[in-house]
Structure 1
Amino acid sequence: MTAGTAPATAPIDFDPYDYDFHEDPYPTYARLRAEDPVHHAARDDLWVISRHADVFAVMRDDETYSNQMGVSLDASAWTAEAHRVMSFLALDGAAQSRIRRLVSRAFTPRRVRELTPNVQALTDHYLDRTLAANAEHGEADWIGDFAGRLPMDVISEMMGVPQADRDEVRRLADLTVHREAGVRDVPEAGVAASMELFTYFGDMVTRRRGQPTEDLTSALLAAEMEGDRLRDGEVIAFLFLMVVAGNETTTKLLGNALHHLAAHPEQQREVFADPAEPEAYVAPWVEETLRFDTSSQMLTRYVVHDTELSGTAVPAGAKALILLGSANRDERVFTDPTRYDIHRDRSELAESLSFGTGRHFCLGANLARLEAKVVLTELVRRVSGFEVHADRAERVHSTSVRGFARLPVSFTERSA
């Protein structure tokens, strides 16, 4: 190397299965946005899309960037039969609209709002247990004791999963998203867990066909639109989607919220200053967490015909990978995007793509926000602050979700 010259920058090595990447994908995202916004990752033959404008455009154009092969980058999940597992996430156009409209007849905003007392009761129950563990041991595992339990219980209660089955359903759901080192696909344990869940929900749907109840499963079976109803397989696929995607993403949101606020003590003091008025800060705390470190980091699309994006030709038949986590930190959209800031302007937070956009905007967004706001509001009422022991935290290793499998936290309870 000639004296005075800078070393050549190493080529971008984008590996979504790499455990080091899971620990912190954001430096790689920054390089992609700056150097190669539509990057061809040859190892997995992925076209990786990282800038906000491009991610937004792809999500709005399912005629060019189709969901027909599903949203998972795993080879075994990349199939024209993906809708049998992922429900309307793996459909486009009229087929997607049909199932989404029928599902929406049962999974209504009113049904979500009516869950508030149940979410509050579960919050009180698990927070009592978490703070008891904290009092005994000086800390609690926010994931194992609380965040890994409440979202699954909320969804299970809504769907009609009996209390006795919920731990096992939770265990199987966790296995479906876990990725093993060196395995560039769904591990055998994840495949087996998925099959068990489908069998379980199939049996549950059969029982509800014979004896309807007041739960979401029965409501889905009864949903009707111009004489059209959901078939059993379509109901099972939606239940599977709910218990895997809806549970995991909310668990990770709750963990990420504590992890990042703990790293900013001055912001934590503001949030926890007044237990009588917690709402002023809880909503922006949730929204900034969703932007800064979204639970769902990446989704795939099938490229229907030859196209061009940011000056790069993308061939028909390609597997495009859109990086929601990168889009949410795009410096072209967000001011100082690597700064975690609960005071971020609402107009910027509105640009977050954590829940998608357009016809594929997340149907469970209202439920996730409801759970997070109820939980974090009650936490502010009950404790005056907390410390996350980040050196002992353990991350989930997944291509689907980003968050923690274990998060040790010490809480300072408010005096009675």
Structure 2
Amino acid sequence: MEILILAIVLAVVVLGAAGWLVVGSRRRGSVAPPPPRTPVEPGVGEDAAALPEAPRRGVETVDLPDAAAPPAEAPAVPDTVEEAPPALDVPEPTAGRLVRLRAKLARSQTTFGKGLLALLSREHLDEDTWEEIEDTLLTADVGVAPTQELVERLRTRVKVLGTRTPAELRGLLQEELLALVGTDYDRSLDTAKRTDGRPATVMVVGVNGTGKTTTTGKLARVLVADGRTVVLGAADTFRAAAADQLQTWGERVGAHTVRGPEGGDPASVAFDAVKEGIAEGVDTVLIDTAGRLHTKTGLMDELGKVKRVVEKHGPVDEVLLVLDATTGQNGLVQARVFAEVVQITGIVLTKLDGTAKGGIVVAVQRELGVPVKLIGLGEGPDDLAPFDPAAFVDALIGD
């Protein structure tokens, strides 16, 4: 009986084990294999390989600092880095500038000088030749009345002269043109400090596009070259670029520029510029005004206001009108209106290089009764020259 019970127990155990094996195999067969692992770059994250342990040095192998030696001082670090001031330009001397710039008048020579000499050198000076001489002068913008005067004087002197050698004709034309340009004008710039210590005040006016701001900057160089100290007033508040440009010109020669907010009151800027000039004790204050069309009544009235406000410090010593020589007779209309609003004391003719309109010097002086004091003969910083009638006429006629 005991043997039978033992056999039954063994059979149950065997059958249970076989069933467990079958179920386990089925379960293992139904489980999907795990997805392949994405390879990880070596040395990143948890997969990083352990660094090899560096050999350790004992105390006896380490070089210890000498206790007697003073500690090394750390290099001193300056609190602020001072930038070296930019080197100032040295403007060319104004004496003889017009002579040096003689080549700039080469194109003017063709019509205004050499053309006249060629006509006067003809063997027979008939009426057709004299008409050509008149046309040449009118084309050069001398003006109708000055042209008629010059032709009449030339007719009389050529008739009296009789023989006409090239040297005689050149001398004759030079004398007559010099008389036409005028030698009795006071062409000096009133830029010296007043006896009461107030700086001389110079306003620069003109229409848009005549090169007014550039002329103001170049004039600062002219004054510095003559030993004057200068403060610039950027009263053209309509264009931020104008104030930036004027400040750049000033920085080149060490002149301080007073400027205001864009769109601000130009009269206020001009007033502050003169005030600054008085405080600094400079010789001259140059005020660059905004370009304005002569037909705009409001803008012209504003220009008059600028002058009146500046005069609270004292009289304005110079009012220079900048004219573009290439505009010819059209510039005379502009000049006339400006002269009515502010009292013009001198003319600056720009862009006279490369133009056959040299006669505009005669016409504008006749129109306004004020002299040409400066002429611009190029785009270089020192291409603004004091006007010398003799050198000008000599350059026009040529050798």
TM range (shorter): under 0.3
Q: Which has the higher contact order (CA 8 A, sep 6+)?
A: 1
Task: Tell which structure's C-alpha radius of gyration is larger.
Answer: 2
**TM score, norm. by length of structure 2:** 0.23
